[in-house]
Amino acid sequence: MKFSRQGKLIFSTADPVCVAQILNLDKILETPISTAVTFENISERFLVFDIPTTLPLSELAAEIMHKNDMEVVESEKCIHCTGPHSATSKICPRHIHEQKILEFKCRNHLTIGEARRIYAQSSKTNYSDAAKTNTTAPNIEEIVNQRVESIVQNIAIKMEQQTTLLIEIFQKQSKILCNIWSQYSIKRTSKNP
């Protein structure tokens, strides 16, 4: 059951008993009505004229079930979000989302594809969300001091390693120089008798 664009109420059914009951409808909400049948493959569709479109479908379904001993199984559902409203309703969340994309497109002079992509990528955060997520670390000074201390310790360890290597190199060179000096002095003393 749904409203058509022309303001008529459309019933769809495949049950022959329901067909007979719909054809016998005379009044809905104290409004005299007339029905017309449009046959399709398996189901039959009925157009009910003279129903005010301002009435909600749930109210119409309740009236039909109460006064005519008929069971309305499914009232109108949105094809976009399966909500209890028409697909062209302005309260549909999908419609609201599309309107925001179109507004974004117009404000930024973009194509619809670019606007959809950018709108989907952008995270819509407001001040309260940003304030909740951007909490500062309570001990920033401690963290900085710890990091500086670890860097200084690493540098000190490297410096110690380098100095020990230099000391070892100097010791080796001094031993070599001592050996050379001792050999030179031995040769010199052996030449001077």
Coil, helix or strand for 11? strand
Structure-token pair, residue 50: 């003279």
Q: Using an 8 Å Cβ cutoff, are 82 and 39 in contact?
A: no
Query: Across-strand partners of 39?
Result: 44
Structure-token pair, residue 110: 């973009």
pLDDT in tens, 31-68: 777 666 555 544 455 556 566 666 666 777 777 666 66
Closest CA to 9 of 63, 45, 62: 45
Angstrom distances, CA of residue 5 to CA of 2, 48, 149, 152, 191: 10, 13, 75, 78, 127
Structure-token pair, residue 165: 């290597």
Q: How many helices (H) and strands (E) does the chain have?
A: 6, 6
Which of 49-53, 82-86, 161-165 shows the highest mean pLDDT?
Answer: 161-165
pLDDT in tens, 95-152: 888 999 999 899 999 899 998 888 887 766 667 666 676 566 567 888 888 999 999 9
Q: Using an 8 Å Cβ cutoff, are 49 and 21 in contact?
A: no
Closest CA to 20 of 7, 6, 33, 37: 37
